[in-house]
Amino acid sequence: MNMSDSIDLYQQIYQVVKLVPKGRVTSYGAIAKFLGVAKSARLVGYAMNLSHFQKEEIPAHRVVNRNGLLTGKMHFSTPTKMQELLLSEGIVVEHDQIKSFPELFWDPSLELI
DNA sequence: CTCTTGACTGGTT
DNA sequence: GAACCAGCCAAGA
């Protein structure tokens, strides 16, 4: 238990997001749970909002809510940027919703042993 | 310090 | 299956 863990919380979130394989997607809750802050899924979303200020590029388009809905698409450069990025990775998105979401879902707790 | 808002989630109605 | 409520954490006014 390091007291400096909380300091790296955002960095850890960015790390996990960057570890998401291309063509896969994950949810805020999955990342939060993996980091041990399952009840703080909102913090993950908040961190994503700050990801634009990060020096490194964060594939935030691979992070959606538990319903596979592109809730944060409006925070990108353009409202359609997120969908285009996902589409360019082979992920089909219709009506702001990812198709075959359960199949494309990537859970760090299960795959990132 | 208090109140509000937000890229969320799970359970209940 | 959509709508509503409650919990949890952080940042800004």
Specify the DSSP element, H or E, that contains A109: helix A108-111
* Residue type, position A79, single letter: P
Structure tokens, A24: 């896969």
Segments of chain A assigned E as strands: 26-27, 63-64, 93-94, 97-98
| Statement: the pTM of the whole predicted model exceeds 0.85 | yes
Instruction: Tell me the CA–C1' distance in angstroms for A30 and B11.
Output: 18
pLDDT digits over A100-109, tens only?
A: 999 999 999 8
pLDDT by residue (tens digit) across A50-100?
999 888 999 999 999 999 999 999 999 999 999 999 999 999 999 999 999
Residue A13 has pLDDT above 80, yes or no: yes
Q: How far apart are CA A51 and CA A11, in angstroms?
A: 10
Classify burial at A82, counting beta carbons within 10 Å of its beta carbon; exposed 0-12, middle 13-18, buried 19 or more: buried
Nucleotides of strand B within 7 Å of the protein's CB atoms: 6-10
Task: Report the distance from CA of residue A14 to the C1' of nucleotide C8 in Å, as an integer.
Answer: 21
Strand B–CB A31 distance below 7 A? no
Secondary structure element (H or E) that encloses residue A9, with its range? helix A9-18
